[in-house]
Chains A and B, each alone.
Chain A
């Protein structure tokens, strides 16, 4: 009795599955040609866009919450249009955007980690803003890395929303205690290692020479790539399809860090640090020097901080021009109003009156020496290094570098925590992912 019942139930289920399958199959077929190709529709809007009291939606990810809130509040106060901001946890952002893109539910405006922008533009998530961006009188002063990341087939889709640069930060109080010159950061990786060891040698409880996120691909990309660039080397080929992270320069960077790790001068929790607390040690004053995000300058208080570009093994300085780009989504019905927000965002009012006032980096080089930067020489340093920095462009960037199980993470962990003999093999694995 039992057996027969299960069988009929099974057949009923099979029949149901079949019927529903046909239905869904039809539905899926009719939807398939909706969103194909990268030719996002071009936005038609005047140079200033439209300000008619429309409600616009904007998504951004949590690390840029502070800047996004300030910008949105200032815009809402001075315009008829109102922007509704949604802040999404960092780890969920790609999934949320992906789901919304599939169902046609993207907000009017959304920001994207600049390293994902090339792929998202290619997938057609952003509308074409070429005519509007070309119409800006200060176009040449807009951060080149961000503009380039959002350009596909000569069409521009994305403007810089918030710039986040990786810089060398050092704790001047700890430098003084260790007998180092508090006004001068290390000029190359050798000095960086020596300074970290000097601070470690103080033997202060809970205090370490340096820190990083050895289980956080994004942190390592952000803070270690500049060391390679500083020596004039590259991390990938121009197309972003081949990894060059086994160059002599890169190997020298890994061995400096291996030396630091083996000598115990690195905050021990760095080994498992997957991202959430990777800056906490320095912010709490427990770490002597660190490659650190410049957006956190305004929240690093309680001790005196020195700022410089990230040095390479032989010297020089560079930075990772990260942060988020922003564009009008393919699903927006209010493109002219959305452009009004973007146009205002690039204006001096927003760049200086909101971002620079909050000690953030401006995304226009012609505004680098503004009234707020003049008060704090560290901001001038950051703005100057920004011009020397780089933004890597690759379609499979997330999978190759940022993902929790990326081959880049394997490379770094083997090179720094292991014996360092597998860099070439691990680099091939990165290339394999990049070239897919």
Chain B
């Protein structure tokens, strides 16, 4: 059910009245009055920027001198020809794959842990959730210091092993994933917990009376009944990871040797760090937007399909 709410556009006004009763003008005006604040917000904060991005992507638009007129489709060719385009797409997919597996798995594991144990429940829940209270940028800065081979508290360890957290491409990816897991596992735990608690306990009771093992109960009851929650968390996590920026911008800056450039970072660097070309950056954004729409449609279909079967 959560799924359907998430898919519906926030802008949709209330469906037309079902009763064939004639409405007075006053009623109609009041209806518009209620809807207009939301409509205004959607227009100003969503539709206008979106259209602006589309226009930018089809225009020659340097950062410092502004709009210089339409040049479609040059920006899109330049975006795809960028020497980091392919690398950044591959890296973003790789990162998304690992982040989703880790977060969904750990979120579910932690949720089951805090649901089962009664004695330490409060303490555990709180301690898993606390990192979520920290902004991602602040968390990244915190880990930047922790990982620093110069000023970090772990510097002696790194020196002893002649190795550093952000020194090689794989270490940098793993270190960033650790930060993300630390920051988000609690949040996904909370979502999973809500899903778990929505499963009626008499189903478990019946299964126990039938002599089902714990493993069986998990596979045959928990997972199928948790599907809407799993769908929600997967979509959140995949979309969020595909748009990863802060953690890499602060921790690795795309390094070492340009091995950790995500797509959004590429957009940022094209716009503000060097090329200063908003047109090409907007073209990249449009490509990412299209990819996200496709990916989310596929995910929704997949989860919905298995829902109905």
Contacts and interface: CB of A to CB of B under 8 A. Distances in A.
Given A2-B4, A25-B55, A403 B47 contact: no
Contacts of B269: 403-405
A406 B270 CA distance: 11
A308 to B, nearest CB: 25
A238 interface: no
Interface in B111-164: 148-151, 159, 162, 164
A13 B148 contact: no
A20 B275 contact: no
Contact of A398 (B9, B66, B273): B273
A102 B66 contact: yes
B206 interface: no
Interface string B1-38: 00010011101100000000000000000000000000
A31 interface: yes
Interface stretch (A138-146, A264-272, A349-357, A382-390): A264-272
A4 to B, nearest CB: 11
Nearest to B43: A20
A151 B51 CA distance: 38
Nearest to B54: A21
Q: Tell me what chain A mostly uses at the interface: helix, strand, loop, or mixed.
A: helix
Interface string A1-45: 010011001001100110011001100100110111000000000
A421 interface: no
Contact of B150 (A9, A24, A280, A396): A280
A35 B253 contact: no
Contacts of A280: 150-151
Interface centre among A9, A25, A119, A396 (most CB of B within 10 A): A9
Contacts of A406: 274
A414 B243 CA distance: 30
Given A94-B273, A98-B63, A274-B255, A28 B55 contact: yes
B82 to A, nearest CB: 10
Interface in A357-382: none
Contact count band on B: 35 or more
Interface size class of A (residues with CB under 8 A): 35 or more
Interface stretch (B176-184, B225-233, B256-264): B256-264
Interface string B28-70: 0000000000000001000110111011000100111111110
Given A24-B52, A94-B276, A277-B151, A6 B65 contact: no
A102 B257 CA distance: 32
A429 B8 CA distance: 47
Nearest to A123: B64
A274 B253 contact: yes
A28 B229 CA distance: 43
A12 B84 contact: no
B254 interface: yes
Contacts of B55: 21, 24-25, 28
A5 B273 contact: no
Interface string B217-242: 00000000000000000000000000
B31 to A, nearest CB: 16
Contacts of B274: 396, 398-400, 402-403, 406
Given A5-B8, A268-B159, A272-B164, A120 B256 contact: no
A131 interface: no
A332 interface: no
B48 A24 contact: yes
A17 B148 contact: no
Nearest to A216: B253
Given A102-B66, A268-B159, A274-B255, A404 B273 contact: yes
Contacts of A35: 65-66
23 contacts: A6-B7, A12-B12, A17-B47, A17-B51, A25-B55, A28-B52, A28-B55, A28-B67, A36-B65, A94-B63, A94-B276, A95-B272, A98-B63, A98-B276, A101-B65, A102-B63, A123-B62, A125-B64, A268-B149, A268-B159, A268-B162, A272-B167, A403-B269
Given A402-B274, A413-B256, 12 more contacts: A12-B11, A20-B48, A28-B52, A32-B68, A95-B272, A102-B64, A102-B66, A274-B255, A281-B150, A398-B273, A402-B273, A404-B255
Interface of B: 4, 7-9, 11-12, 43, 47-48, 50-52, 54-55, 59, 62-69, 84, 148-151, 159, 162, 164, 166-167, 253-258, 261, 269, 271-276
